[in-house]
Amino acid sequence: MLAFGASAASAQISNDVVRIGVLADMSGIYSDLSGKGAVEAVKMAAEDFGGTVLGKKIDVVFADHLNKADVGAAKAREWFDTGGVDLINDLANSGVARAVAAVAKEKKRHIVVNGASNMGITNELCSPYAIHYAYDAYSLAHGTGKAVVEQGGKTWFFLTVDFAFGIGQEEQVSKVVRANGGRVAGAARHPLATTDFSSYVLQAQASKAEIIGIASTGADAVNAIRAAAEFGATKNQKLAALLLWIEDVHALGLPAAQGLLLTNAWYWDMNDETRAFAKRFFERVGKMPNMAQAADYSSTMFYLNAVKAAGTDEPDAVSKKMREMTVSDMFTKQGTVRADGRFVHDMYLWQVKTPAESKAPWDYLKLAATIPAEQAFQPLSDSKCELVKK
């Protein structure tokens, strides 16, 4: 009792350091989307916060999860058990994010998911310590998917990457399609990091579906879109890319990407604040930040502010604070965390510019629609999270 009282009074910060671990794809297919950019974004937040919180140093560490769920989970365990890590951020790759969410729940430590879409984070895997911050499969489906169905795309065929992310994405969009009177003609599942999509595109053509839904991202989506154009699928069918990043548009080039719709939570060229952040980021990383990297920055700031407000880094106290506070920064003007851990904010539907519209390098997107926060995410009443009072 005495020992407890003494420690609570003197040491509000565990190990005398607030340590943030960036668990990212540093070397694989998603390393442009997460990787070094994610690490730098978190470091920028720590620096902008002043380098210390409650008089203790803020330390940023990072590791490569190799896109393997077991590697990610093992690293998270090590960081929580012996590394003194208080928060794990980024977590690109849905398989990894799911595994680490389970570890966080067990260890009662914080994670923020910015680079993965899987709905499990705010449903069956939810905990007071996990926040799903930037986007998720529901918000992407209800952005791009819904917009395309409303424009008349009623029959869909999916090219789906064969793991948690792609399958979850296909599921969500299929729901939207059916709810709007559409039909799913079929799906072809391909392995992660497929280079040749020609045979999948042929199957999509044979299905005669109006829309080819691309339930993959990064290099997979880029290759799928290129193959669809090459085989003339885009003459009779339309493409709907369900998660396209600014880097993917960059890799495709505007001639191939123009006109595509995509749902992103953030774009570097939205206002003066986003442009200022992007400029600083560009100087450090050599490319423009994407929505996950902007969210890495924003969520790290949010966590540090919550630690400061709580006066401690004790996970339960910080969790409580994070669910009371509102975020207003360059990422979002009005963001709040719900009981299921979903960080709710406006999402945006973008259209890729034509080469003529693009005035400068990385000038790629124009706003097509704003999806208000209350419509952008799965209704709380539908959440399977045990923390949601029904």
Partner 1 sequence: MDIFGIPHQALLGQVMLGLVNGAFYAVLSLGLAIIFGLLRIVNFAHGAFFMLGAFVAFLIGRYFGIGYWPAMIMGPLVVGLLGILFERFALRRLYKLDPLYGLFLTFGLVLVLEGGFRVAMGSSGHPFATPDSLRGVVNLGFMVLPVYRAFVILVAVVVCAGTWIIIEKTRMGAYLRAATERPDLTQAFGINVPILLTLTYGAGVALAGFAGVLAAPIQHVNPSMGSDLVIIVFAIVVIGGLGSVLGSALTGLGLGVIEGLAKVYYSEASSTVVFLVMALVLLLRPSGLFGREEN
Answer for the pair 131, 111: CB distance below 8 angstroms, yes or no: yes
Provide the minimum distance between the beta carbon of 61 and partner 1 in the complex, in angstroms, as a whole number. Answer: 20
In angstroms, what is the minimal distance from the CB of 33 to partner 1? 8
Stretch that binds partner 1, among 22-30, 298-306, 315-323, 372-380 (CB under 8 A): 22-30
Pick the binder of partner 1 from 51, 232, 355, 372 (CB under 8 A): 232
What are phi and psi for residue 165, nearest 5 degrees? Answer: -65, -55
Contact (CB, 8 A) for 107 and 136: no
32 near partner 1, judged by CB under 8 A: yes
Measure the CA–CA gap between 129 and 122, rounded to whole angstroms: 11
Name the residue nearer to partner 1 (CB basis): 197 or 331: 197
CA–CA–CA angle 67, 73, 76 (5° rounding): 110
Per-residue H/E/C for 194-219? CCCCHHHHHHHHHCCCCEEEEECCCH
Question: Per CB under 8 A, does 210 bind partner 1?
Answer: no
Q: Does residue 92 bind partner 1 (CB under 8 A)?
A: no
Smallest CA-to-CA distance from 251 within 281, 221, 286 is with 221
Q: Could you tell me the smallest distance in angstroms from the CB atom of residue 217 to partner 1? A: 11
What is the length of the chain?
390
User: Which one of residues 12, 13, 22, 31 is an interface residue with partner 1 (CB under 8 A)?
Assistant: 31
Query: Would you count residue 231 as binding partner 1 (CB under 8 A)?
Result: yes
152: left (phi over 0), alpha (psi -120 to 50) or beta: left
Nearest to 220 by CA among 177, 268, 165: 165
Nearer to partner 1 among residue 106 and residue 196 (C-beta): 196
User: Is 153 a binder of partner 1 (CB under 8 A)?
Assistant: no
Per CB under 8 A, contacts with partner 1 among 35-54 are: 35
Of the candidate spans 119-127, 194-202, 302-310, 333-341, the one that interacts with partner 1 by CB under 8 A turns out to be 194-202
SS3 (DSSP) at 321:
helix
- Pick the binder of partner 1 from 94, 144, 223, 258 (CB under 8 A): 223
Contact residue for partner 1 among 5, 50, 181, 191 (CB under 8 A): 191
Nearer to partner 1, 203 or 274 (CB): 203
In the chain, beta strands by DSSP E: 17-24, 52-53, 56-64, 85-90, 110-113, 130-132, 155-161, 183-190, 211-215, 238-241, 261-264, 336-337, 343-344, 347-352, 365-371
Q: Among the candidate windows 150-158, 167-175, 187-195, 358-366, which touches partner 1 by CB under 8 A?
A: 187-195
The only residue of 74, 193, 325, 373 in contact with partner 1, by rule CB under 8 A: 193
For residues 235 and 265, is the Cβ–Cβ distance under 8 A? no
Q: Is 218 in the site for partner 1 (CB under 8 A)?
A: yes
Tell me: does residue 238 bind partner 1 (CB under 8 A): no
**Strand pairing of 85-90 and 110-113?**
parallel
For partner 1, give the closer residue by CB, 111 or 214. Answer: 214
Which is nearest to 148 in space by CA: 322, 369, 361, 354? 369
The verdict on 277 binding partner 1 (CB under 8 A) reads no
Residues of this chain that bind partner 1 (CB under 8 A): 27-33, 35, 162, 188-191, 193, 195-196, 198-200, 202-203, 205-206, 218-219, 222-223, 226, 230-232, 247-248, 250-253, 256, 287
